[in-house]
Amino acid sequence: MIPFSSYFSRETQPALRRKLTRRRFLELGAATAVATFGVVTSEGLREAQHVSLKQVVISVAQLPATFDGFTIAHLSDFHYDPINTAKPIGDAVHEVNRLRPDIVVLTGDFVTLPLLGSKRKAIANIETQSEPCAELLSQLRPKRGTFAVLGNHDQNRRSGVVTDSLQTRGIRVLRNQSVPLETRGSRIWIAGVDDVLHHADDLSAAMYRIPRNETTILLAHEPDFADHAAEYPVSVQLSGHSHGGQIRLPFLGPAYLPELARKYPWGLRKVGDLTLYTNCGVGTLELPIRINCPPELTLIQLRKTTT
């Protein structure tokens, strides 16, 4: 029998081998890419369901001695969804209650307005997201209360629905407002501004009652607002919004960071005399995965600066 290869000239045989080798290489490359994508997606889905605890100490020069050691549990960016985010939200609540902080602060985005699709339909469904999210968060049991601000997804034509869902369950929403916390004749202030991306913030209104020499903890959804807040007598700003990038790729960093979360996207920073902490959030947006950026619960301890 004549070998099949003999039907081709000596000149065409190497070209055929090259063609087959290239095709095989592409097939193997495609198979590897699909397998890698599957593994990464599976791991990303798993990571998005497991809350990570970060403990942070923040020194404050003017902190009253009676508040030395005061603890704040900080959660952000819930983006309630019954399938993808309800579990990590519930787990975070359980862990907060185990830690028994003095207060809990929630820095926005309880609901989701999708980047794609009909925003009108999404706004009509805000109640179906805000009510169950608020119900889960109402199970928080800090010693001295839970305080919240709205995020850019909450600051929509139905922001009153989000606010009411929280406040009817005992969670105080600070909309360009401040409240004092008093202990044995001393006090600190918790202030909050409405969403900055929607130009709803009014820091002057939030701060107008607060004496300049008293400690102020500011809640602001967008972390890059710290550049403006640092012009005021704000001691600490707590923010979210960035999701920490949500997907952090090796050697490349975060796949995407939203506007006003690109300068201070996560962690502890000093901005002038102000100390900023950006929480990476609990929920997810668009893709229900996290890579190298797990859902975060931050436990913050305030300490009086010693001289």
Q: Are 218 and 178 in contact (CB under 8 A)?
A: no
Domain housing 261: 48-304
32 and 69 co-located in one domain: no
Q: What is the CATH number of the domain that holds 187?
A: 3.60.21.10
188 and 163 co-located in one domain: yes
Phi and psi angles of residue 186, each rounded to the nearest 5 degrees, phi first: -115, 165
Instruction: Specify if 1 maps to a domain.
Output: no
Q: Are 283 and 37 in contact (CB under 8 A)?
A: no
The yes-or-no verdict on residue 28 having pLDDT over 60 is: no
Domain count, the chain: 2
Element (H, E) at 253: strand 253-254
Instruction: Specify if 237 maps to a domain.
Output: yes
| Beta bridge partners of residue 191, listed in sequence order | 178, 218
19 and 117 co-located in one domain: no
55 and 13 co-located in one domain: no
Q: How confident is the model at residue 116 (pLDDT cuts 50, 70, 90)?
A: low
151 and 284 co-located in one domain: yes
- What pLDDT does residue 21 have? 63
61 and 18 co-located in one domain: no
214 and 286 co-located in one domain: yes
- What pLDDT does residue 306 have? 75
Residue range 181-191: average pLDDT? 97
Across 107-219, where does the E strand assignment appear?
A: 146-148, 171-173, 177-183, 186-192, 216-219
The yes-or-no verdict on residue 15 having pLDDT over 60 is: no
**Pseudo-torsion of CA 111, 116, 117, 123, nearest 10°?**
20
- What pLDDT does residue 24 have? 58
The pLDDT tens digits of the residues spanning 251-271 come to 899 999 999 999 999 999 999
Predicted structure pTM score: 0.87
- What pLDDT does residue 36 have? 38
Q: How confident is the model at residue 80 (pLDDT cuts 50, 70, 90)?
A: very high
The yes-or-no verdict on residue 214 having pLDDT over 80 is: yes
Residue range 90-110: average pLDDT? 98
Instruction: Specify if 2 maps to a domain.
Output: no
Phi and psi angles of residue 115, each rounded to the nearest 5 degrees, phi first: -70, -30
Q: Are 66 and 295 in contact (CB under 8 A)?
A: no
Residue 266 has what DSSP assignment?
Answer: S
93 and 28 co-located in one domain: no
The yes-or-no verdict on residue 120 having pLDDT over 90 is: no
- Among candidate residues 14, 148, 168, 125, the one with its CA nearest the CA of residue 72: 148
Q: Give the pair of three-digit tokens for residue 299.
A: 């436990």
The pLDDT tens digits of the residues spanning 278-294 come to 999 999 998 999 999 99
160 and 16 co-located in one domain: no
CA–CA distance, 270 with 236 (Å, rounded to integer)? 9
Residue range 213-221: average pLDDT? 98
Burial class from Cβ neighbours inside 10 Å (0-12, 13-18, 19+) for residue 165 reads buried
Least confident of 15-19, 143-147, 240-244, 288-292: 15-19
CA–CA distance, 181 with 281 (Å, rounded to integer)? 25
- What pLDDT does residue 6 have? 46
Instruction: Specify if 177 maps to a domain.
Output: yes
180 and 33 co-located in one domain: no
Instruction: Specify if 73 maps to a domain.
Output: yes
179 and 293 co-located in one domain: yes
121 and 257 co-located in one domain: yes
